[in-house]
Amino acid sequence: MENVNLIDTFSEFKELKNIDRPTMMSVLEDVFRSMLAKKYGSADNFDIIVNIDKGDFEIWRNRVVVEDKDLTDPVIQIPLSQAKKIDEDYEVGEEVSDEVKFLDFGRRAILSLRQNLTARILDLEKNNIYIKYKDRIGEIVAGEVYQVWKREILVLDDDGNELILPKTEQIPSDHFRKGDSIRAVVIKVEMRNNTPFIILSRTSPVFLERLFELEVPEIFDGLITIKKIVRVPGERAKVAVESYDERIDPVGACVGMKGSRIHGIVRELRNENIDVINYTSNNQLFIQRALSPAKITSIKLIEETKRAEIYLKPNEVSLAIGKGGLNIKLASQLTGYEIDVYREPDGEDEEDVNLEEFGDEIEDWIIEELKAIGCDTARSVLNLSISDLVKRTDLEEETVKEVVNILKAEFE
């Protein structure tokens, strides 16, 4: 009966955890040998036969027949008188195999063996999960939300393995409930206290890259390459793509007919605004494309400091900078150049005055704040409302009003 219970315990794990047959046999044999070595001092002369399919096993002890008076080690030797009780034909020097009954080990030993077996299989399963996901770093996995906590979400994959999606790796507008389906990319796999921790991410650029591979066959097949991705999760992303086939328009292929391909990606990323840009090794042209939809008048590159001075018409400045400065920030990250925006003077702005001229009335750090959002002249500041200036800069409303009054006075 104990045999059946023990094998049943093992079979449960085999069924649930999908451990392969050779590994099962090896684990079971190792556990038995450890028990035999503890009881007899050595397990070298024992044969263990496991029949997983039938759910039983046998342990056979092999001993050499010796004269009764020559018996020195009862573990590996058997006296002739005892051997003849098994079979009258045994003679000195022959090998005798007799079955060791599992029940003879006692209840405590059997319980200990079962616990040892359970622990070994659990360790094996943990190691299998670790190895499985270690090879899947950078892949998208799908799962079901099992538990939502303040700092992280517990996700179960199709095999019931536990995956972790930290709050820091969630898109700010993500809101999941228990039972929701979820997709994310594996970014880290590590062992903590002998337990595998699989960390997922929805904010990583790799997640966006894998989504493009799923939605755009030309990327999956290698006809189009993603050169670089930069993103502010949930807000905006820029993706530089290049085609190795002149017949394929990389941007058009990624966007799809009427946006059919990119729409699924945008929906997955909670309406993140995605700009797909045609990559080029011409830095000036690349910067120009990266700042789209703004139209640039001229560009001056300073290679030593990796800076780019961009000149635009006044009505294009806000487009280049973008909401919250996101467009210019991502363009800088994508191209590798620090981008400075300047207004191209036109007929209306001939009577304009550079902010530096107000250095005796406005503090330098305030001027720098205004220049950082593309306002380098008095009129460029006055063209924006006070609420816009407060929103785009780190200046207090009272400070902004004071600056506006100083600038208005100049033209009055």
**Is residue 225 assigned to a domain?**
yes
| Same domain membership, residue 192 and residue 224 | no
* Domain harbouring 37, CATH code: 3.30.1480.10
Examine the domain organization and report whether 79 and 124 are in the same domain.
yes
> Last residue of some domain: 75, 102, 131?
131
17 part of a folded domain: yes
Identify whether residues 81 and 17 lie together within a single domain.
Answer: yes
**Is 341 inside any structural domain?**
no
Are residues 271 and 176 located together in one domain of the fold?
no
- Confidence band for 345, pLDDT divided at 50, 70 and 90: low
243 and 192, same domain (yes or no): no
On whether residue 293 sits in a domain, the answer given is no
% residues pLDDT > 90 (the chain): 42
| Interval 175-209: pLDDT, tens | 999 999 999 999 999 998 889 999 999 999 999 99
What does the DSSP 8-state code read for residue 394?
S
pLDDT of 223-281, one tens digit each?
999 999 999 999 999 999 999 888 899 999 999 998 999 999 999 999 999 999 999 99
CATH of the domain at 182: 2.40.50.140
Residue 339, in any domain of the structure: no
CB 4 within 8 A of CB 56: yes
**Residue-wise pLDDT tens digits, 363-383:** 888 888 888 888 888 888 888
Long-range interactions of 7-13: CB distance < 8 A, separation 24+: 7/52, 7/55, 7/56, 7/57, 8/55, 9/114, 9/117, 9/118, 10/52, 10/117, 10/121, 11/52, 11/55, 13/118, 13/121, 13/122, 13/125
| 27 and 62 inside one domain | yes
Percent helix, strand and coil across the chain, each rounded to 5?
45, 25, 30
pTM: 0.67
Is 367 a domain residue?
Answer: yes
Structural domains counted in the chain: 4
Q: Mark whether 17 and 98 lie in a shared domain.
A: yes
233 and 150 in a common domain: no
Q: Which long-range contacts (CB under 8 A, 24 or more apart) does 118-121 make?
A: 118/9, 118/13, 120/27, 120/30, 120/31, 121/10, 121/13, 121/17, 121/19, 121/27
Question: Are residue 126 and residue 7 in the same domain, yes or no?
Answer: yes
Q: Which residues are bridge partners to 241 per DSSP? A: 226, 278
- Spatial separation of the C-alpha atoms in residues 92 and 360, rounded to whole Å: 115
Asked if residue 318 belongs to a domain, the reply is no
Same domain flag for 268 and 186: no
Could you list the residue range(s) of the whole structural domain that residue 379 is in? 347-411
Q: Does residue 196 belong to any structural domain of this protein? A: yes
CATH number for 270: 3.30.300.20
Together in a domain, 109 and 148: no
Q: Is the pLDDT of residue 346 over 90?
A: no
pLDDT in tens, 93-140: 888 887 777 766 777 777 777 787 778 778 888 888 899 999 999 999
